[in-house]
Amino acid sequence: MAIAGGACSAYQVRVQDRQLQVVRSTTSLRSMCTGVEEAMIRLGRGETVTVAGSEMVELRRQVELAIGKE
Protein backbone atom coordinates (compact mmCIF):
# COMPACT_ATOMS: atom_id res chain seq x y z
CA MET A 1 0.00 0.00 0.00
CA ALA A 2 1.53 3.30 -1.03
CA ILE A 3 1.74 6.10 1.49
CA ALA A 4 -0.84 8.44 0.00
CA GLY A 5 -4.52 9.22 0.29
CA GLY A 6 -4.95 8.55 4.00
CA ALA A 7 -2.29 5.87 4.46
CA CYS A 8 0.37 6.23 7.15
CA SER A 9 3.26 4.43 8.76
CA ALA A 10 1.89 2.36 11.61
CA TYR A 11 2.99 -0.09 14.28
CA GLN A 12 1.34 -3.15 15.72
CA VAL A 13 2.09 -3.04 19.43
CA ARG A 14 1.32 -4.89 22.64
CA VAL A 15 2.36 -4.69 26.28
CA GLN A 16 4.61 -7.51 27.40
CA ASP A 17 6.71 -7.73 30.55
CA ARG A 18 5.37 -4.30 31.57
CA GLN A 19 6.79 -2.64 28.43
CA LEU A 20 5.35 -1.51 25.11
CA GLN A 21 6.60 -3.94 22.46
CA VAL A 22 6.52 -3.27 18.72
CA VAL A 23 5.30 -6.45 17.07
CA ARG A 24 5.55 -5.22 13.49
CA SER A 25 5.92 -2.00 11.52
CA THR A 26 3.53 -1.61 8.62
CA THR A 27 1.56 0.83 6.48
CA SER A 28 -2.12 1.26 7.23
CA LEU A 29 -5.02 3.49 6.42
CA ARG A 30 -5.16 6.11 9.17
CA SER A 31 -8.85 5.32 9.63
CA MET A 32 -7.89 1.72 10.51
CA CYS A 33 -5.47 2.79 13.27
CA THR A 34 -6.46 2.83 16.92
CA GLY A 35 -6.32 6.14 18.80
CA VAL A 36 -4.26 6.44 21.97
CA GLU A 37 -7.20 6.32 24.40
CA GLU A 38 -8.74 3.24 22.79
CA ALA A 39 -5.30 1.64 22.44
CA MET A 40 -4.70 2.02 26.18
CA ILE A 41 -7.96 0.21 26.95
CA ARG A 42 -7.26 -2.58 24.49
CA LEU A 43 -3.62 -2.95 25.56
CA GLY A 44 -4.85 -3.26 29.13
CA ARG A 45 -6.90 -6.27 27.99
CA GLY A 46 -3.79 -7.86 26.48
CA GLU A 47 -4.68 -7.15 22.86
CA THR A 48 -2.32 -6.20 20.03
CA VAL A 49 -3.33 -2.93 18.38
CA THR A 50 -2.29 -0.96 15.29
CA VAL A 51 -1.32 2.63 16.04
CA ALA A 52 -0.29 5.40 13.63
CA GLY A 53 3.40 6.22 13.80
CA SER A 54 2.57 9.82 14.72
CA GLU A 55 0.78 8.54 17.86
CA MET A 56 3.66 6.36 19.13
CA VAL A 57 5.36 8.98 21.30
CA GLU A 58 2.13 9.73 23.15
CA LEU A 59 1.26 6.05 23.45
CA ARG A 60 4.67 5.26 24.95
CA ARG A 61 4.23 8.13 27.41
CA GLN A 62 0.77 6.90 28.43
CA VAL A 63 1.96 3.30 28.87
CA GLU A 64 4.90 4.42 30.99
CA LEU A 65 2.59 6.53 33.16
CA ALA A 66 0.12 3.66 33.56
CA ILE A 67 2.82 1.13 34.44
CA GLY A 68 4.40 3.55 36.91
CA LYS A 69 1.05 3.82 38.73
CA GLU A 70 0.78 0.06 39.34
**pLDDT tens string 5-16:** 789 999 999 999
Q: What is the mean pLDDT of residues 9-38?
A: 95
- Supply the pTM of this predicted model: 0.87
Kindly state the DSSP code that residue 1 receives in the 8-state scheme.
-
> How many whole angstroms separate alpha carbon 20 and alpha carbon 13?
7
Residue 62 has pLDDT above 70, yes or no: yes
pLDDT band at 53 (very low <50, low <70, confident <90, very high): very high
Where do the H-state alpha helices sit in the chain?
A: 36-44, 56-69
CA distance 11 to 26: 6
